[in-house]
Amino acid sequence: MEKLLEDFSLGLFVWQTVLFVGLLFLLKKYAWGPILSAVNEREAGIKDALNLAEKAKMEMENLQADNQKLLKEARAEREAMLKEARELKSSMIESAKTEAKEEANKLVANAQAAIETEKKAAIADLKSVVAELSISIAETVVREELSDKSKQEKLVESMLKDATLN
């Protein structure tokens, strides 16, 4: 202990104190202050950037979800439209079909009616023609037959025969 005290150099102590305090203040002003503030700033910057990235990621996710939703909606809408169109088409075809059928039926019925009337007219015509013809034949025959009595009778007889056959 005595040797320690004897070794203690006051000059060195004074110089050490003065130089160290000087160094401390110089470094505080020119080194530690700027270093620590720069480091803090940088750390704050990194933190901000990370937060920002996180936020951007969240926004992106939201946006994507929105897009998905929109897409889904659009798809559903398209689906509905297609369905509607398909239904419309089938109903149109159906109605057209029934209409056409009705029309055709009507046409057929008309035609049939026309044919019927035509037929009736033709039959009537034919009847009158046959009647005329038979009258004229009968006239001719009568005229001829009247000239000969036996012949007249024979003719009538044959004609009658034919008529029953007819």
Partner 1 sequence: MQRKLSLKASLLFIFLIPFMSMAGGDTPKTDKKSEIKAYIQHHLQDSYDFSLFSYTTEDGSHKYVGAPLPVILWDNGLVVFASSKFHHGETVAEVDGNFYKLYHNKIYKTDALGTINYDDHQHPTNLKPLDLSITKGVVMILITALLMFFLFRGLARSYAQNKGIATGTGRFFEPIVLYIRDDIAIPNIGQKKHMRYMPFLLTVFFFVWFLNIFGLTPLGVNVTGNIAVTTALAIMTFLITNFTGTKDYWKHIFDPLGDSMPWYGKVPLYIILIPIEVLGVFIKPFSLLIRLYANMQAGHIVLMSLIGLMFIFKSWLGSPLSFGLAFAISLIEILVALLQAYIFTMLSALYFGFASEEHDHHDEAHAH
Residue ranges in contact with partner 1 by CB under 8 A: 4, 7-17, 19-24, 26-28, 30-36, 38-39, 41-42, 45
Query: Which C-beta is closer to partner 1: that of 40 or that of 158?
Result: 40
Query: Which C-beta is closer to partner 1: that of 6 or that of 162?
Result: 6
Smallest distance, Å, CB 50 to partner 1? 15
Query: Which C-beta is closer to partner 1: that of 19 or that of 122?
Result: 19
Percent of the chain as helix, strand, coil, to the nearest 5? 95, 0, 5
Query: Which C-beta is closer to partner 1: that of 22 or that of 106?
Result: 22
For residue 144, how many C-alpha atoms fall within 13 Å in the half-sphere facing its CB? 10
Comparing CA positions, the residue from 155, 164, 153 lying closest to residue 137 is 155
The sign one gets for the Cα dihedral 91, 94, 100, 102 is: negative
76, 81, 86, 91 alpha-carbon torsion, rounded to 10°: 130
Residue 141 CB partners (closer than 8 Å, separation 6+): 155, 159
- Separation of alpha carbons 111 and 100, rounded Å: 16
Query: Which C-beta is closer to partner 1: that of 28 or that of 57?
Result: 28
Smallest distance, Å, CB 51 to partner 1? 18
Smallest distance, Å, CB 27 to partner 1? 5
Smallest distance, Å, CB 14 to partner 1? 6
Smallest distance, Å, CB 17 to partner 1? 5
